[in-house]
Structure 1
């Protein structure tokens, strides 16, 4: 039996308390719960945007601390809620990560734009010319430029309109399937959780209340806490 890709063992950080779970290759884990329950704090532990105060996190069978932060973030990429792009051209953003590892290839730029359904001529556009949906696509492409195995998504469509949400979700699902990515998604949308996720982890006040199949969690919750949350959502 293969080892889990990630193992969280009794992890504590800020509001998080005694968080333990495994993430396997090609899982699509949705982290959800009320505001302030620790969702983003947990997500940021995966690529050391933050570190635990207690407990252990293992990646590929070794302590996450054994990996340099650049190497870890190359393998475990993060797409934020707001697309914080660097000033300059789209190409400047796409080549930033690969340049750190001397891996930039001009043809990669066009493949990345294709991945996120943007035309080739966007390569020379200024980021200031882009719409919100286009900026989020470039942000996703910039993360994909490092060829990560794990994609961390922190409410990546919450700032977009319905049309852009549907388009980016479709692109994400296609990418995940084509590239066999492992995904960890924080979302407030239970419809999005159902569309993208295969597994779920429900947090409340920093503790895991339920975890398992996302479909079962949303359709047949076992705890009063999750039942009450779904009734409110």
Structure 2
């Protein structure tokens, strides 16, 4: 099994704020890892650290440099241009010739069901459509690992189902998924493994079935019961 991330004793400080504390984890290729916990627990910081956007203050993080990564943010930035150009620009920045980048962008939009809206201004799309556009932009880069920060937050139920379906399809095709979510139903449907964080500490790291059916640390048990109730 290929190890993509190997984190040992990682802490991240932002001034006096300790966003992560002594985190240790290992993630293998092909896993579907959900990060859960309340707001401010460290989920986003952990995702950004794995993606290389945040450097550990202490500890070590080894990353498989051969694995291509892409990250989808909770509120993806949309350029004030067409949906197609939003995807093509990322490819062009990676060195793809502009004409070919446009061709690949259209295929990516068709992959997420937005082919008919290729020329629509991205800013004019609905929230769910923008999230699918962001997924197309990431998928076009053909990543081995896709990191997603609350990918369906604030979306209506129909849009959530569409995004979840795409995530499931990407995972089935062999892509490694690491995503944060407050939706425990979504976690059950998509994840093979669940990590629970609180105040920057990783308190539980279990297969999904065990997380929802087995004994948990008290903090994680309260969180799960609170969400279910």
Distance 2:212 2:179 in 1: 15
Match of 2:78 among 76, 85, 94: 85
Using the TM superposition, give the Cα deviation of residue 130 of structure 1 relative to its aligned residue in structure 2, in angstroms: 1.1
Contact 1:29 1:200 in 2 (8 A): yes
What is aligned with 2:184? 190
Which stretches of structure 1, 4 residues or more, deviate above 6 A after TM superposition? none
Match of 1:161 among 156, 162, 169: 156
Structure 2: unaligned runs, 5 residues or longer? 14-18
Change beyond 3 A, Cα 1:103–1:213: same
SS class of match (2:53):
coil
SS class of match (1:88):
coil
What is aligned with 1:45? 49
Count of matched residue positions in the alignment of Structure 1 and Structure 2: 219
Contact 2:84 2:106 in 1 (8 A): no
Deviation string for 1:82-116 (max 9, x for gaps)?
13111111122101221122225233123201221
What is aligned with 2:170? 175
Is 2:35 aligned against 1:24? Answer: no
Contact 1:4 1:22 in 2 (8 A): yes
Per the normalisation by structure 2, the TM-score is 0.90
What is aligned with 1:117? 113
Contact 2:8 2:61 in 1 (8 A): yes
SS class of match (1:185):
strand
Per the normalisation by structure 1, the TM-score is 0.89
Contact 1:90 1:123 in 2 (8 A): yes
SS class of match (1:157):
coil
Cα root mean square deviation, aligned:
1.6
What is aligned with 1:103? 96
Structure 1: unaligned runs, 5 residues or longer? 61-66
